[in-house]
């Protein structure tokens, strides 16, 4: 992207620091080297701007590009990739079949790992037990998918990596509040090595919050969800 174009870009991100979905957008923008205005949102008292920009889901993240809102993090990532398109920073492969496969795994990670992962800390009883099982079973599928690879797409950090890596900053909260152990290093060595590799990237390093800080916020979210505060 030339500097003249960059000067004209108006890019804002409505997010919340602890939101793993928002972190996806932050990593995506950082990977592309896009300057943007970070607008922290209070999800317990949603701003008129958030409600106006994402009236259907009323969730973060919302990317606002030259006044146009884009919501749903996986769609936001594809939008970022399409707008600031360069062969060196592409999040998705160019071949249609390879793209479809990457989108399949991003969708799998989203629905079958990230969502049950979040359910492990904010539910209780049978629902919580089922979430822990689902999360660990599907993490094992991702472990197999990573075998012999540096990243989900091979040698290149891409959409699936961006979609999944923010959730690793929540694993500590899942374990503590879900009262279970993931045993990442012992049972999921490919994911363990991949996580360390992702954390070496500036985009990830500067985006992911401290897991202890995440735990404090996750504890409040859990209490509120379960009606304990
Ligand atoms: N599918 C959405 C999920 C976004 C989401 O759940 N965001 C949460 C924060 S992590 C949120 O805004 N929650 C507010 C609410 O549910 O009212 C995405 O991928 O962007």
Mean pLDDT, the chain, integer: 96
Q: What is the pLDDT of residue 229?
A: 79
Q: What is the pLDDT of residues 66-84, one digit of tens each?
A: 999 999 999 999 999 999 9
Indicate which atom in ligand 1 lies nearest the CA of residue 110.
Answer: 19
Q: What is the pLDDT of residue 165?
A: 98
Kindly state if the Cβ of 221 falls inside 6 Å of ligand 1.
no
Indicate which atom in ligand 1 lies nearest the CA of residue 43.
Answer: 14
* Domain 3-83 architecture: 3-Layer(aba) Sandwich (3.40)
Q: What is the pLDDT of residues 137-177, one digit of tens each?
A: 999 999 999 999 999 999 999 999 999 999 999 999 999 99
Question: What fold, for 96-225?
Answer: Glutathione S-transferase Yfyf (Class Pi); Chain A, domain 2 (1.20.1050)
What are the structural domain ranges in the chain? 3-83, 96-225
User: Do 3-83 and 96-225 show the same overall fold?
Assistant: no
pLDDT at 61 over 90: yes
Kindly state if the Cβ of 43 falls inside 6 Å of ligand 1.
yes
Indicate which atom in ligand 1 lies nearest the CA of residue 72.
Answer: 20
pLDDT at 3 over 60: no
Q: What is the pLDDT of residues 88-137, one digit of tens each?
A: 999 999 999 999 999 999 999 999 999 999 999 999 999 999 999 999 99
Kindly state if the Cβ of 54 falls inside 6 Å of ligand 1.
no
Q: Using the mean position of ligand 1's atoms as its centre, give its distance from the Cα of residue 1 in Å.
A: 30
Q: Using the mean position of ligand 1's atoms as its centre, give its distance from the Cα of residue 16 in Å.
A: 10
Kindly state if the Cβ of 72 falls inside 6 Å of ligand 1.
yes
Q: What is the pLDDT of residues 12-53, one digit of tens each?
A: 999 999 999 999 999 999 999 999 999 999 999 999 999 999
CA dihedral 204, 207, 213, 217 (to 10 degrees): -120
Kindly state if the Cβ of 21 falls inside 6 Å of ligand 1.
yes
Q: Which of 77, 81, 103 is nearest to 25 (CA)?
A: 77
Whether 153 contacts 147, CB under 8 Å: no
Q: Which of 18, 22, 59 to mutate to test the pocket of ligand 1 (most atoms within 8 A of CB)?
A: 59
Q: Using the mean position of ligand 1's atoms as its centre, give its distance from the Cα of residue 22 in Å.
A: 8
pLDDT at 2 over 90: no
């Amino acid at each position: 992207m030339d500097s003249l174009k960059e000067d004209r870009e108006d890019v804002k991100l409505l997010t919340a620091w602890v939101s793993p979905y928002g972190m996806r957008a932050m990593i995506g923008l950082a990977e592309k080297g896009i300057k943007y205005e970070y607008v922290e949102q209070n999800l317990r008292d949603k701003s008129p701007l958030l409600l106006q920009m994402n009236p259907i889901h009323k969730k973060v993240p919302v990317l606002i590009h030259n006044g146009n809102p884009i919501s749903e993090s996986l769609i936001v990532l594809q939008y970022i990739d399409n707008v600031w398109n360069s062969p060196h920073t592409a999040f998705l492969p160019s071949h249609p079949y390879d793209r479809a496969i990457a989108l399949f795994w991003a969708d799998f990670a989203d629905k079958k790992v990230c969502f049950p992962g979040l359910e492990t800390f904010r539910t209780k009883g049978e629902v919580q037990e089922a979430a822990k099982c689902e999360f660990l079973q599907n993490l094992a599928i991702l472990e197999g998918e990573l075998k012999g690879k540096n990243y989900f797409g091979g040698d290149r950090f891409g959409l699936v990596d961006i979609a999944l890596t923010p959730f690793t900053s929540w694993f500590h909260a899942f374990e503590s509040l879900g009262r279970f152990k993931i045993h990442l290093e012992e049972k999921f060595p490919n994911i363990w090595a991949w996580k360390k590799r992702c954390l070496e990237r500036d985009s990830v390093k500067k985006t992911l919050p401290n897991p202890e800080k995440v735990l404090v916020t996750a504890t409040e979210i859990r209490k509120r969800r379960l009606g304990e505060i």
